Chain A
Amino acid sequence: MLQNMSIRARLLLGFGIVILFLIIVGVVAVLNVRSAQTVTVDLYTHPFTVTNSLKNAHTHIIKMHRGMKDVVLSANPEELNTTIAAVDDSGKEVYSNLKIVRERYLGPKEDVDEVVRELEAWQPIQREVINLMKTNQKDRALSVHKGEASNNVSRIERKMDAVIEFAMNKAESFYEDSMEIEEQTIRLLIVLFIAAVLIAVTVAMLITRSITTPLNKAVEVAEKLALGDMSAEIDAVSKDETGVLLRSMDRMVGSLKEMASAADKISKGEMIVNVRPRSEKDILGKSMQDMVGYLKGIAAIAERIAGRDLNVRFKPLSEKDLLGNAFTGMIDNLRGMTKDLQESVNVLATSASEILSSTTEVASSVTETATSVSETTTTVEEVKQTAQVSSQKAQHVSDAAQKAVQISHSGGKAVDDTVEKMDRIRQQMESVAESIVRLSEQSQAIGEIIATVNDLAEQSNLLAVNASIEASKAGEHGKGFVVVAQEMRSLAEQSKQATAQVRLILNEIQKATSAAVLATEQGSKTVEEGMKQSELAGDAIKALAASITEAAQAATQITASSQQQLVGMEQVISAMNSIRLATEQNVAGTKQTEGAAHNLHELGQKLKKLVEQYKT
């Protein structure tokens, strides 16, 4: 039933139910509040008024009793009269209050009547007291007042207390009544509230479910479609808006399935599909139609290419037409390739014929090679004999080299001795040089002594002159002394000459010493050079010894190599024999190659014919 209602009607119904319950709860609450109010008013009007009136009456009774006491105690008649008037006023108040009590009192009226009766019983007593006072019988009045009047008043008070008690009890019962009504009201309201909430929740859930279930289904289908799944089944029963939506989706899925099957066929290469657009605005349908047309065009061209016709032209739809551009490129490339292929096949055919002629030549040259190989084998035999001779010679060389090694060792020792001797010579030369230098220094000392002697001679000369002067001054007696003086002078002269000669000789000695020093120095240098030369010679002889040792080793190696060479020559001979055999096989092989080249040539011719079938 719910499904057949529109969503608007459903929402209205739901909210209506909730509002109805709200109204019910409100009305009940108002009614109960009203009854509670009534009880409260009763509580106020009855016990409160009754007790108030009773209390007032009681107060006035007490005032009357006190007035009567004043009456008894009054001193003069004026005072008496005023007091009596006050008592009368109070009596009136008491009656009016008791009257109200009687009207409102809910208990038995007899209780109030008893109070009234007691009041009436008190009045004659009052009158008696007043009369007694008026007749100046104060003592009797006092006794009456204290006896009968007091008893009467206490009786009245007892009766009134009973009435007040009853009224108070009545008030309590009212209070309990009102409490009960309140409890009932709360209980009723709670029940109603829970019922309203339950109903509202149920209605809300029902309505929500009736809307969301079809919507969820629609969402599920849409999700599947978004993922490209066309298998979604939609069965719409309801007549509301969701039903309409689901039915539209069903139609959409159907149309998409049709398109998908068409596309599937195209993907399998079937071009015999007919796609009709569903409306003017069916872009997908139109595109499918165009695509099928486009593919059919391409297929037709491909068929022509398959039929070896490369002269077809295809115009791409746009610059972004990948397939069209690729197809055009492919056709162009195929055309170019076929041309290249034709040229290549031509080259291949020519090459094959050239190979054929070359192979024929090779066959003849292989035969010649075979002859050469037999000649080489003979030559190798001769070489082997030569190798034997060279092996013997190498042995001789090795022996000679060993002897040379021994001789070079003794030469090295001799050179070492020479170096040692040369060193000793050098030391002796150094001591000689030192002696010569000492000699030179001593001759210098001699020179100094000679200088002194020369000086002495000079002085002697002067002395001699002075002596002769003195002698001549002495006259005849000094003549003999003149001769002595002259003799002294001549001696001095001789000394001078002798010193001059010594000086000359010393010069000669000095020159000779310098020459000797020079000679010694040169000798020393020569000895050092000799030492260096000897060391060089020693090094040379050692190097020579090393070289000779190497030579000896080399000679030994040569001997060993010659032996190996001999063995190698044997191997070469056997290898040459193998080569000869191989060459014979080569001759046979070359003849086979010749046949193959002939076949290749024929194949080239065939290929040429095949390629020429392509129209370019």
Chain B
Amino acid sequence: MNETGAKKPAVDWAEVRKRVEVTRLKIEQGWAPGLEERKKILRQRAAALAKEPERIIEEEKIEVIEFFLTHERYGIESSYVREVYPLKDLTPVPCTPPFVLGIINVRGRILSVTDLKKFFNLPEKGLGDLNKVLILSSDDMEFGILADSIAGVRTVPVAGLQKSLPTLTGVGEEYLKGVAGDGLIVLDAGRILSDKAIIVNEEV
């Protein structure tokens, strides 16, 4: 026993006890930030508020909801989006085209859910979460489209939109509003909503 002790330093139990006690105290304090932490946060916020706001250039802008669909960023005009909703209780419907995944119940309203990848004939690449639904609506049409995740809301200057790109494939020009400078593909929701192809009327 003595020999092993000489080879390897014995555990400093006092030190261990101290560390455990510190941890215990920290946990008991809860997740409330400490005094230093609080000051730091406040300083950051002050810095952010003190920053000079960007000069607002008077140009035409549109507000878009930005979302991800298999590594690609898409945008859609927020005026057509009624709300975003987590995908829950999807019921598949038989005798429908492949792009119609099924129907969901959103607060009492039954809406169809469309997979844009299949609708645009985009290649199936990798796996996504596909757990969010953007509910598009116009005066005479309402349905949900599937998204991996919602990135947020941003404004895009209309002048910055480029009409199509030679690298862009799949999405027909008729559904495209343009591509923003940072590669955001802005879809024309008005066209999609008014497209006859999306209306399914099949009798069996």
List A residues 428-470 near B (Cβ within 8 Å): 458-459, 461-462, 465-466, 468-469
Cβ of A472 and Cβ of B84 under 8 Å apart? no
- Interface-central residue, B63, B152, B153, by most chain A CB under 10 Å: B153
Nearest residue, chain B, Cβ from A467:
B153
- Interface-central residue, A458, A466, A473, A486, by most chain B CB under 10 Å: A466
Cβ of A465 and Cβ of B79 under 8 Å apart? no
| Given A472-B63, A473-B79, A489-B152, CB of A465 within 8 Å of CB of B86 | no
Cβ of A461 and Cβ of B150 under 8 Å apart? yes
The yes or no answer to B85 lying at the interface (CB within 8 A) is yes
Q: How far is the CB of A421 from chain B (nearest CB, A)?
A: 10
Chain B residues near A469 (CB-CB < 8 A): 65, 78, 81-84, 153
Q: How far is the CA of A489 from the CA of B153 in the complex (A)?
A: 10
Q: How far is the CA of A23 from the CA of B82 in the complex (A)?
A: 188
Q: How far is the CA of A462 from the CA of B106 in the complex (A)?
A: 14
Interface string of B51-84 (1 = CB under 8 A from A): 0000000000001010000000000001101111
Interface string of B76-110 (1 = CB under 8 A from A): 00110111111000000000000000000000000
Cβ of B150 and Cβ of A465 under 8 Å apart? yes
Q: How large is the interface on B (under 10, 10 to 19, 20 to 34, 35 or more residues)?
A: 10 to 19
Cβ of A472 and Cβ of B79 under 8 Å apart? yes
Chain B residues near A466 (CB-CB < 8 A): 83-84
Nearest residue, chain A, Cβ from B153:
A468
List B residues 125-153 near A (Cβ within 8 Å): 132, 150, 152-153
The count of residues in chain A whose C-beta lies closer than 8 Å to any C-beta of chain B is 14
Chain A residues near B81 (CB-CB < 8 A): 469
Q: How far is the CA of A462 from the CA of B152 in the complex (A)?
A: 9
Interface of A is mostly: helix
Cβ of B153 and Cβ of A482 under 8 Å apart? yes
| Given A472-B79, A489-B152, CB of A462 within 8 Å of CB of B84 | yes
Cβ of B86 and Cβ of A462 under 8 Å apart? yes
Q: How far is the CB of B54 from chain A (nearest CB, A)?
A: 14
Chain A residues near B63 (CB-CB < 8 A): 472
Nearest residue, chain B, Cβ from A455:
B86
Q: How far is the CB of B3 from chain A (nearest CB, A)?
A: 14
Nearest residue, chain A, Cβ from B131:
A458
Q: How far is the CB of A164 from chain B (nearest CB, A)?
A: 179
| Given A469-B65, A469-B78, A473-B79, CB of A459 within 8 Å of CB of B150 | no
Chain B residues near A462 (CB-CB < 8 A): 84-86, 132, 150
Cβ of A472 and Cβ of B153 under 8 Å apart? yes
List A residues 479-522 near B (Cβ within 8 Å): 482, 485-486, 489
Nearest residue, chain B, Cβ from A466:
B83
| Given A472-B79, A473-B79, CB of A465 within 8 Å of CB of B85 | no
Nearest residue, chain A, Cβ from B155:
A472
Q: How far is the CB of A400 from chain B (nearest CB, A)?
A: 30
Chain A residues near B152 (CB-CB < 8 A): 465, 468, 486, 489
- Interface-central residue, A461, A465, A482, A486, by most chain B CB under 10 Å: A465
Q: How far is the CB of B140 from chain A (nearest CB, A)?
A: 19
Q: How far is the CA of A59 from the CA of B150 in the complex (A)?
A: 200
Q: How far is the CB of A532 from chain B (nearest CB, A)?
A: 17
Q: How far is the CB of B30 from chain A (nearest CB, A)?
A: 14
Q: How far is the CA of A489 from the CA of B66 in the complex (A)?
A: 13
| Given A468-B153, A472-B153, A489-B152, CB of A459 within 8 Å of CB of B79 | no
Q: How far is the CB of B186 from chain A (nearest CB, A)?
A: 15
Q: How far is the CB of B157 from chain A (nearest CB, A)?
A: 16
Q: How far is the CB of A487 from chain B (nearest CB, A)?
A: 10
Q: How far is the CA of A76 from the CA of B102 in the complex (A)?
A: 197
| Given A462-B84, A465-B65, A466-B84, CB of A472 within 8 Å of CB of B150 | no
Q: How far is the CA of A450 from the CA of B85 in the complex (A)?
A: 22
Q: How far is the CA of A482 from the CA of B63 in the complex (A)?
A: 11
Chain B residues near A468 (CB-CB < 8 A): 78, 152-153
Q: How far is the CA of A473 from the CA of B78 in the complex (A)?
A: 8
Chain B residues near A486 (CB-CB < 8 A): 152-153
Chain A residues near B84 (CB-CB < 8 A): 462, 465-466, 469
Q: How far is the CA of A189 from the CA of B153 in the complex (A)?
A: 192
Nearest residue, chain B, Cβ from A498:
B31
Q: How far is the CB of A132 from chain B (nearest CB, A)?
A: 197
Chain A residues near B79 (CB-CB < 8 A): 472-473
Q: How far is the CB of A486 from chain B (nearest CB, A)?
A: 8
Q: How far is the CA of A485 from the CA of B84 in the complex (A)?
A: 14
Interface string of A90-105 (1 = CB under 8 A from B): 0000000000000000
Nearest residue, chain A, Cβ from B86:
A462
Q: How far is the CA of A557 from the CA of B79 in the complex (A)?
A: 116
Chain A residues near B153 (CB-CB < 8 A): 465, 468-469, 472, 482, 485-486
Q: How far is the CA of A248 from the CA of B84 in the complex (A)?
A: 172
- Interface-central residue, A468, A482, A485, by most chain B CB under 10 Å: A468
Q: How far is the CA of A495 from the CA of B182 in the complex (A)?
A: 27
Q: How far is the CA of A472 from the CA of B86 in the complex (A)?
A: 21
Q: How far is the CB of A435 from chain B (nearest CB, A)?
A: 12
Q: How far is the CA of A543 from the CA of B79 in the complex (A)?
A: 96
Nearest residue, chain B, Cβ from A464:
B152
Chain A residues near B132 (CB-CB < 8 A): 462
Q: How far is the CB of A431 from chain B (nearest CB, A)?
A: 16
Nearest residue, chain B, Cβ from A421:
B1
Chain A residues near B150 (CB-CB < 8 A): 461-462, 465
Q: How far is the CA of A451 from the CA of B84 in the complex (A)?
A: 22
Chain B residues near A472 (CB-CB < 8 A): 63, 78-79, 153
Which B residues contact A (CB, under 8 angstroms)?
A: 63, 65, 78-79, 81-86, 132, 150, 152-153
Given contacts A469-B78, A472-B153, 5 further A-B pairs with CB under 8 A are: A462-B84, A462-B86, A462-B132, A472-B63, A473-B79
Sample 26 A-B pairs with CB under 8 A, ordered by A number: A459-B86, A461-B150, A462-B84, A462-B86, A462-B150, A465-B150, A465-B153, A466-B83, A466-B84, A468-B78, A468-B153, A469-B78, A469-B81, A469-B82, A469-B83, A469-B84, A469-B153, A472-B63, A472-B78, A472-B79, A472-B153, A473-B79, A485-B153, A486-B152, A486-B153, A489-B152
Closest CB pairs A-B (n = 7): A468-B153, A466-B83, A472-B63, A465-B84, A472-B78, A465-B150, A469-B78
